[in-house]
Amino acid sequence: MISARNVSFAYNEELVLDQVTVTAEQGRTVGLIGPNGSGKTTLLRTLYAALKPRAGQSEVDDVPVARLRPVELAKRIAVVAQEGTPELPLTVTDMVLLGRAPRRSMFQSYTKEDHRQAASALRRVGARDLAERSFSTLSGGEKQRVLIARALAQEANHLLLDEPTNHLDIRYQHEILTLVRSLSITTVVVLHDLNLAARYCDRLVLLDRGRVVSAGTPDEVLRPEVIEPVYRVSVQRLEEPDCIQLIFRPPSSGESTDAPEAS
């Protein structure tokens, strides 16, 4: 389990998160959704101690992440961040082996077990055939698979992803999230596409201006009366046999796009 408990965070004096509480139960996939600037990535970064909250705390398996040494934290939490990966002259295998760093000393060579875990991770993400390719030559979807394999090679039981479908076409978006959902580990993922969130997440947390507006199952959160005030667009909800689908209509020229005043 990984959680944030009453977490607040500010850049200088600008409050970005305001007493946010989120819990991802063991083996579940939780999606963080909300407009640009709502605090999704900032919240994710507090979960793996990249940012220190001004109030509240993040915990992994009931242990405050701030108390864990970086190597211990890396054994529990694997991260696929949004920032671009440097184009280093590494093979795919070498890139995945970087995930084994928390499991060995600084000057220790990779062991047979490290290589076995790297090969196993590549198989799990369907990228074993890419092992000898240069990472820099891969497509966007292939790179995402490899980065997830690197995270799996850490043998962490929590996976955090920041917009893993960014810049991917429709096919790769679904392939990556199908893969993430199949891993059966505790996952927190930042997503912009609400229809992808509806299909692949067990629970959703909707943020707006640093606060939790709604949290629950996709059925509970993805309702027009919840979504429309946050995104300020009209929403039509369709009940598909296996999933909710949302259709969005931008406001007409006569409709205001201003946020409602706080009561």
What is the three-state SS of 145-173? Answer: HHHHHHHHHCCCCEEEEECCCCCCCHHHH
Strand order in the sheet with 29-33: 77-80, 158-162, 186-190, 29-33, 203-208, 211-216
Which of left, alpha, beta for 53 (phi over 0: left; psi -120 to 50: alpha)?
beta
- The pLDDT of residue 68 is above 90: yes
Q: How far apart are the C-alpha atoms of 235 and 191, rounded to whole Å?
A: 18
Quote the pLDDT of residue 255.
Answer: 56
Q: What's the DSSP call for residue 100?
A: G
**100 within some domain:** yes
Tokens representing 236? Answer: 């039509």
Per-residue pLDDT band for 260 (boundaries 50, 70, 90) equals very low
**Overall average pLDDT of the 154-181 stretch:** 90
What share of the chain in percent tops pLDDT 70?
93
**97 within some domain:** yes
Q: With contact defined as beta carbons under 8 Å apart, do 96 and 149 qualify?
A: yes
Tell me which range, 15-24, 131-140, 247-256, is most confidently predicted by mean pLDDT: 15-24
**145 within some domain:** yes
Number of structural domains the chain divides into:
1
33 against 261, higher pLDDT: 33
Predicted confidence (pLDDT) per residue in 77-95, tens digit: 999 987 666 677 899 999 9
Assign residue 118 the CATH number of its domain: 3.40.50.300
**93 within some domain:** yes
**257 within some domain:** no
Q: Does the CA dihedral 193-194-196-201 come out positive or negative?
A: positive
Domain enclosing residue 129, as ranges: 2-249
Helices (H), the chain: 40-47, 70-76, 92-97, 112-124, 140-153, 170-182, 194-200, 218-221, 224-231
Predicted confidence (pLDDT) per residue in 187-239, tens digit: 999 999 999 999 999 999 999 999 999 999 999 999 999 999 999 999 999 99
- The pLDDT of residue 178 is above 70: yes
Question: ∠18-157-81 over CA atoms, to 5°?
Answer: 55
**60 within some domain:** yes
**260 within some domain:** no
Least confident piece of the model among 75-84, 244-253, 254-263:
254-263
pTM for the full predicted model: 0.88
Quote the pLDDT of residue 166.
Answer: 84
144 against 42, higher pLDDT: 42
Tokens representing 170? Answer: 């429709």
Q: With contact defined as beta carbons under 8 Å apart, do 62 and 1 qualify?
A: yes
**191 within some domain:** yes
- The pLDDT of residue 31 is above 80: yes
Predicted confidence (pLDDT) per residue in 141-166, tens digit: 888 889 999 998 998 999 999 999 88
**What count of other Cβ atoms lies within 10 Å of the Cβ of residue 241?**
4
Quote the pLDDT of residue 253.
Answer: 59
